[in-house]
A and B are shown apart, each in its own frame.
Chain A
Amino acid sequence: MYMPFNFEWLSDDKAVISNLTGEFSVLEKHDLLEVANSEISERNKINSTSTFLYENESEKNSLSKLHSSSYARRTLNSLKSPFLFIIVPTLRCDHDCTYCQVSRANLDAAGVDLDIGSIEPIVNLIERVGKPPYKIEFQGGEPLLRFDFIKHFINRFDQDHGEESEYIIATSLSLLNNEIIEFSKNNNVHFSVSLDGTSVFHDSQRRNVIASSHQMAGNGILALSESIGIDRVATVTTITRDALRVPQDIIDGHNNLGLKNMFVRPLSPYGFASYKMDKYYSTNEYLAYYSKLLDLLVAQYDDVGIVEHMALIHLQKIFRPDKTGYNDLKSPAGYLLGSLIINYDGNIFGADEARMIYEQHKTKELVVGHIGNPDFKQHDAGIEILSNSFISEMPMCNECAYQPYCGADPLHHLSLQQDLIGDKSTSFFCQIQKGIFGKIFKMIDDKKSMKVFDQWLAYGSR
């Protein structure tokens, strides 16, 4: 007799099963059919699991309580993950990337910057809503255009919280100079840099009028590596159509700069990119690319030793769902409960996607408040968004084997399908997640790949 469980096909004859505790197993088709027909033979692989089967009413009762408490704990955990504060000091940018998600502004644009005077109310807000350890990220546009603001802010915040704060600057590094490097050395500053491959691919989509964006990024990474250490530099790679053909390129692009970590993501539909969505690629095309990329990284791990963090996050969610918080893969969603965005105009949003949607459509309902006004207004939209992000009860999610590890992303569905829950059968988010989970479970089922994944997991928990 078996507890409630879900399954997804990994191939024609293998399926992954999972239940509310998060335990999973990869079964061959005949084993799964045996279970469904309640005729489990002795050599059925499900016998080696620990929370799927019970022998009598008493075991069933105890297991039910355990399934229940696991599910409750995971849900609560989602509600109390560490907070990320994002500050957008300017929307101006010296790049004009083809896939820009934030509707960047020109260098000479007016009215798209935060005033130094706004630092004090922002600090008050962070102290009120968050608690140590603090994680504060500067985004843009190009945040280094307002290094003055960043410097002021960090100096101010460090006065009271220097020991317990981490700052991240998301930048192309085109404006990196010695002053910035020195300052970063003396403060706990980390960098998040876009690196889309070797120069051909990177420059074709990340355009800067002055020089090769790739060259500036590369020089910046090397300079930071020598001064503050490579551990404080993380990269983000956005894959566009051209890059799909050559998965080795992004590996080389990182290896050439001595980078041991990468984070790869598909184009997202926000900002400029959404107008040209159909010019990019289908989810199947992306998944075929990503699958090859992971195979290459695993095969080359002994040589290049690179960890891919999108996969690592998924692995961490699979093996330690109670101990992993990643805002985009949470149920209920990380909206408002895991992040706050302070925009260049002083508006406050509950998620990065929310400000992107606002930028495009001026959706007032998504504005949570304003730093000039110390009280948050009644944020009805927030309750609506959160209550529609419990995936265990949504169509398709409720019978998906990846549910214990996946998340809701209601704003993604709001943007693309004009509905918070969305139709998962056509959802970009869902197809990508299912594809990534499917590939990862296939690799988990392979001894050689799992050996490398164990090393990634060990790295991730150091």
Chain B
Amino acid sequence: MEVVRKDIFHVISGSVDPGLYRADINSNRKSVGIIPNLRVNQLSDQLITSNSVQLQSDHTFSDGDILLVGKGGAVRAILSKSANANTLLVTERCDNLCEFCSQPPKEANDDVLFGMAAQALTEFQTSDLVGISGGEPFLSKKIFLAFMSTLNSLGCRTPLHILSNGRALQDISFTKKLADVCQYREVSIGIPLHGVRESTHDSLTAAPGSWKETIDGLINAGHMGFNIELRFIPTLDNLSELEKLIVFVGRTMPFISQLSIMNLEPHGWAKKNWKSLYRSPVFYSKTLESAVKIGERLGVNTRLFNYPLCHLKGEYLRNKAERSISDWKNYYPDECNDCAVMDKCCGYFKSSKNMFLEKPRKWAI
């Protein structure tokens, strides 16, 4: 099983101190000078080479990519021009404890990650969207504002999509400061809402008071004109509220730019709780279609994330599906090679194996 893009490599010869480096392959792109260059010769495998797996694409990373060299000699391309999407982790701390968290929180102070992210983004110089995720990026409001300020003063203009539980936005003065520091940058925020009932949401986040704060956050962010993507993750505990949620959002949050319905990723705590969470989309196709249609009527732009096309019944739903899985954790089982629409399908998470794999189905087109 091969992922679409390999992002982890090993140093085979020579020694490289752990840290951030800018991949210098052919000196094509100009360096900003914040991060040291690491000369990489791919043809002669001199400094860094991949392990023996054959890759689908010619280049696994490009000139100007940002590499993170770890202590054991593992090298990861944390920002790459070859990636279908780039996301930077800025903290592993979080004030929610979602049952299906794919990045379970840690408690240690990791503010240093913000510094690395600021350097990496500035050096990478892209005008494509980069995701900012965690943990909860807004957990330390001061640090986040300082992070944005730093990017601004370093001249980094990269558009950012920040994944947040939205709770920090209940603080209107933080929300205003955030709007200020983001005013010359394209920024969008992705916020999950697990249900329309406080009990539904709070039991899934295992954080009492989180629903109330997230709602307050959404209201404030809406008033300040933020571009909000709302997320809903269907599980056995909240599927029954999907249609209500669409109406809820359509009526009280018309400012959201998109509602993303996201199929579970079997990673982290989701794996642990899989049996009590996962529902096959094949069994809730009707509800899904009805909800999306209600959304359409209300002007809610709904998209489906992480749903292999063969798990969705009908053309209508398939047209709403996105190729949403990051290439470094994306794969297609062998059966997919026969599929006529493979190039339109998002495929699977690399963690969808064995008991977590819902097999591809055959549908007649």
Contacts and interface: CB of A to CB of B under 8 A. Distances in A.
B240 to A, nearest CB: 10
A323 B254 contact: yes
Contact of A319 (B211, B243, B297): B297
B299 A323 contact: yes
A196 B248 CA distance: 42
Contacts of B245: 50
B219 interface: yes
B252 A69 contact: yes
Main secondary structure of the interface of B (DSSP, over half): helix
Contacts of A245: none
Given A61-B212, A319-B299, A50 B196 contact: yes
Interface string A18-45: 0001110000000000000000000000
Interface in B195-228: 196-199, 211-212, 215-216, 219, 222-223
Nearest to B298: A319
Contacts of B223: 69
A62 B211 contact: yes
Nearest to A47: B244
Contacts of A70: 251-252
A48 B241 CA distance: 9
Main secondary structure of the interface of A (DSSP, over half): helix
A461 B196 contact: no
Interface stretch (A52-60, A174-182, A228-236, A415-423): A52-60
A59 B297 contact: no
Contacts of A69: 219, 222-223, 252
Given A65-B215, A65-B219, A66-B215, A51 B252 contact: yes
Interface residues of B, number: 25
A45 B247 CA distance: 15
A50 B201 CA distance: 14
A58 B212 contact: yes
Nearest to A73: B254
A461 B199 CA distance: 36
A315 to B, nearest CB: 9
A320 interface: yes
Contact of B251 (A51, A58, A61, A65): A51
B198 A62 contact: yes
A73 B252 CA distance: 9
A55 B298 contact: no
B251 A21 contact: yes
Contacts of A58: 198, 212
Contact of A457 (B247, B252, B297): B297
A83 to B, nearest CB: 21
A322 B199 contact: no
Interface in B243-271: 243-245, 247-248, 251-252, 254-255
B198 A22 contact: no
A21 B198 contact: no
Interface in A56-93: 56, 58-59, 61-62, 65-67, 69-70, 73
Contacts of A59: 197-198
B241 to A, nearest CB: 8
Contacts of A320: 254, 298-299
Q: Which of B212, B223, B247 has the most CB of A within 10 A?
A: B247
Contacts of A319: 297-299
A62 B212 contact: yes
A373 interface: no
Contact of B252 (A21, A48, A323, A454): A21
Nearest to A22: B251
A50 B222 CA distance: 19
Interface string A309-348: 0000000000110110000000000000000000000000
Contacts of B216: 62, 65
Contacts of A61: 212
A23 B299 contact: no
A312 to B, nearest CB: 13
A49 interface: yes
10 contacts: A21-B251, A48-B243, A50-B196, A50-B247, A58-B212, A62-B211, A67-B252, A70-B251, A73-B255, A320-B254
Interface of B: 196-199, 211-212, 215-216, 219, 222-223, 243-245, 247-248, 251-252, 254-255, 293, 296-299
Given A49-B247, A320-B254, A323-B254, 14 more contacts: A48-B244, A50-B196, A50-B244, A50-B247, A50-B248, A58-B212, A59-B197, A62-B198, A62-B211, A62-B216, A69-B252, A319-B299, A457-B297, A461-B299
Among all A-B residue pairs, the 5 with the closest Cβ atoms: A50-B244, A50-B248, A66-B252, A21-B251, A322-B254
